[in-house]
């Protein structure tokens, strides 16, 4: 099959992964290609070229200007990139489009495509994406949630067509039958306030187990004010780890 995968544009789809969505998109594209499909990944310029990359934008989370101006620039970059992409897909011969973008334009323009599209919903509803889903009224577009919790949170907007949990590559994320001799907890992901790492650190201290932390510190002020003061005997920051190293720590 000829499969187009639409990524979000805030971070590259490449190791070390910024978070779970980047990991999911990377693994999906890689494994489909290994199974013999012709995959094109529509993503940012620094994404992995071995995934059949067709770059449509630079990373919108990387800004060299003030926060308010950067937010406006990112909005218009993403809008232009997705609008151009969706218009171009009208005349291309993909068998199916898989949408991981979390952006309103691909879902609201799905009815203009000659091929079916599947959108995977990775988050609860938020205003822009919810408005796009409400505008999408076509039998050519399926909505999939990554959990039953996500499906319940989207139920007031639209019933999802399926729940398909995120998968992992068991060759790279291997099962470890025996735990480490010294027990510890693990937290990994983007270090930003909404992920609640500071709460996990407090919980680890409360139960008396050390916490190993991995992930990119995307919010410097949050890391400085909330995370660094909590580091010490009960919590250790491992940095932004490669996938294999992270799998070993979690295993």
Beta bridge partners of 41: 5, 53
Q: How much is the pLDDT for 85?
A: 98
pLDDT in tens, 108-122: 999 999 999 999 999
Q: List helix spans (H) across the chain.
A: 20-34, 67-89, 104-108, 127-135, 148-154, 197-207, 220-222, 243-250
185-250 is a CATH 3.40.50.2000 domain: yes
Determine the 3-state secondary structure of 173 from DSSP: coil
Is the model's pLDDT at 228 over the cut of 50? yes
Q: How much is the pLDDT for 173?
A: 83
Which residue would you say has higher pLDDT here, 18 or 116?
116
CATH superfamily for 2-163 is Glycogen Phosphorylase B; (3.40.50.2000)
Cis omega (within 30 of 0) on the bond before 16?
A: yes
Question: The tokens of 131 are what?
Answer: 């408005």
pLDDT in tens, 169-210: 888 888 889 889 999 999 999 899 999 999 999 999 999 999
Domain coordinates in residue numbering, the chain: 2-163, 185-250
pTM of the model: 0.85
Residue 64's pLDDT band, with cuts at 50, 70 and 90, is very low
2-163 matches 185-250 in fold: yes
Query: Rounded to an integer, what distance in angstroms lies between the CA atom of residue 225 and that of residue 164?
Result: 37
> With left for phi above 0 and alpha for psi between -120 and 50, is residue 101 left, alpha or beta?
alpha
Q: How much is the pLDDT for 196?
A: 95
Q: How much is the pLDDT for 74?
A: 85
């Amino acid at each position: 099959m000829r499969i187009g995968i639409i990524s979000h544009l805030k971070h590259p789809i490449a190791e070390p992964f910024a978070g779970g969505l980047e990991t999911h998109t990377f693994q999906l594209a890689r494994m489909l290609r290994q199974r013999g499909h012709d995959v094109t990944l529509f993503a940012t310029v620094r994404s992995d070229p071995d995934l059949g990359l067709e770059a449509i934008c630079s990373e919108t989370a990387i800004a060299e200007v003030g926060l308010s101006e950067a937010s406006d620039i990112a909005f218009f970059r993403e809008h232009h990139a997705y609008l151009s992409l969706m218009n171009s897909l009208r005349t291309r011969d993909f068998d199916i489009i898989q949408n991981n973008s979390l952006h309103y334009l691909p879902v609201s323009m799905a009815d203009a495509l000659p091929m079916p599209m599947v959108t995977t919903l990775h988050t609860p509803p938020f205003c822009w994406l919810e408005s796009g889903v409400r505008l999408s009224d076509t039998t050519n577009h399926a909505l999939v949630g990554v959990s039953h919790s996500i499906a319940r949170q989207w139920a007031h907007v639209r019933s999802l067509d399926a729940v398909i949990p995120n998968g992992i590559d068991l060759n790279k994320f291997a099962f470890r039958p025996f735990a480490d001799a010294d027990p510890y907890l693990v937290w990994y992901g983007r270090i930003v306030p909404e992920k609640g790492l500071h709460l996990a650190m407090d919980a680890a201290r409360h139960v008396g187990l050390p916490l190993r932390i991995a992930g990119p510190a995307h919010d410097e002020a949050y890391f400085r004010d909330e995370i660094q003061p909590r580091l010490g005997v009960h919590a250790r920051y491992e940095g932004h780890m490669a996938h294999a190293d992270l799998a070993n720590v979690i295993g």
